[in-house]
Amino acid sequence: MFYRLSGVYHSSLISDSRMFKVPADRNLAVFLLLIGLAAPFILPSLYLNSYILPWLIWTAAALGLNLVTGWAGQLHLGYAAVMAVGAYSAIHTVRLGVPWEIALIIGGLAASVIGSLFAFAALRVKGLYLALTTLAMQFVMDWVLTHSPTISGGSHSSLQAPTLALLGQQITSDAGYYYVALGWCVLVTIFMLNLKRTGLGRALVAVREKDFAAAILGVNSFYYKILAFAASSFIAGVSGALLVATFYFLAAPEQFSVNVSIQVLAMVIVGGLGSIIGSYFGVALILLVPGLVNGLVVTASEELGMQVNVETLAHIPNAVYGALIVIILMIEPLGLGKLYGNIRDYLMTWPFDQLRK
Partner 1 sequence: MAGTLALAEPFKVGVCYDLSKAYTFATPQVSQAAMDVAKLINMQGGIGGEPVEVIVRDHGNEPQRGIECYSRLSREGVFVFDTLSTPVSLAILPRAMEDGRILMQSLVGRGDAVDGTVFEWVYPVGPTYWGQMANDIGYIKQLHDDDLSDVKIGYIYFDYPFGQEPIEILKTLSQKEGFELLLYPVPLPGSDQSGAWSKMRRDNPDHVISWMLGGAHVVASKEMQRNRIPMDKYISVNWLNEVDIANIGAEAATGLKRGTNVVGGQDVPLRLEIINKLYDEGEGSGPLVNTQDVYYNTGLAMYSIIFEAARRAADLEGMPITAESYKKGLESLENYDANGLMAPITVTAEDHGGGGKTRIEMWDGETWVPQTDWIAAYGEVVWDVVRESSSKYGE
Residues that bind partner 1 (CB under 8 A): 44, 46, 49-51, 54, 95, 146-147, 152-158, 160, 247-250, 252-255, 287, 290-291, 294-295, 298, 309-311, 313-315, 317-318
Nearer to partner 1, 289 or 334 (CB): 289
Shortest separation between residue 320's beta carbon and partner 1, angstroms: 12
Instruction: Tell me how many helices (H) and strands (E) the chain has.
Output: 18, 4
Helix pair angle (53-66, 221-243), 10° resolution: 170
Shortest separation between residue 270's beta carbon and partner 1, angstroms: 17
Q: Which is nearer to partner 1, 94 or 188 (CB)?
A: 94
Of the pair 56, 206, the CB lying nearest partner 1 is at 56
CB of 160 to partner 1, least distance (A): 7
31 exposure class (CB count in 10 Å sphere: 0-12, 13-18, 19+): exposed
Comparing CB distances to partner 1, the nearer of 255 and 261 is 255
Decide: 175 and 40 in contact? Cβ < 8 Å: yes
DSSP state of 162: P
CB nearer to partner 1: pick between 46 and 330: 46
Cα–Cα nearest to 327, from 282, 251, 287, 270? 270
Please say which residue, 158 or 324, places its beta carbon nearer to partner 1: 158
Q: Which long-range contacts (CB under 8 A, 24 or more apart) does 348-352 make?
A: 348/3, 348/5, 348/7, 348/8, 348/22, 349/3, 349/5, 349/6, 349/7, 350/1, 350/2, 351/1, 352/6
Query: Closest separation between CB of residue 150 and partner 1, Å?
Result: 12
- On whether the CB atoms of residues 349 and 298 are closer than 8 A, the answer is no
Closest approach, Cβ 163 to partner 1, in A, equals 10
Q: Which is nearer to partner 1, 55 or 222 (CB)?
A: 55
Residue 56 beta carbon to partner 1: minimum distance, rounded to whole angstroms: 13
Nearer to partner 1, 105 or 252 (CB): 252
The enclosing H or E element of 211 equals helix 211-216
| CB of residue 257 to partner 1, shortest distance in Å | 9
- Chain centroid to Cα 133, Å, comes to 21
- Integer Cα distance of 61 and 297 in angstroms: 29
- Identify the H or E element spanning 170: strand 169-170
Q: Residue 62 burial by CB count (10 A; 0-12/13-18/19+): exposed, middle or buried?
A: buried
| Whole-angstrom distance, CA of residue 40 vs CA of residue 3 | 30
Instruction: Give me the least distance between CB of 288 and partner 1, in Å please.
Output: 9
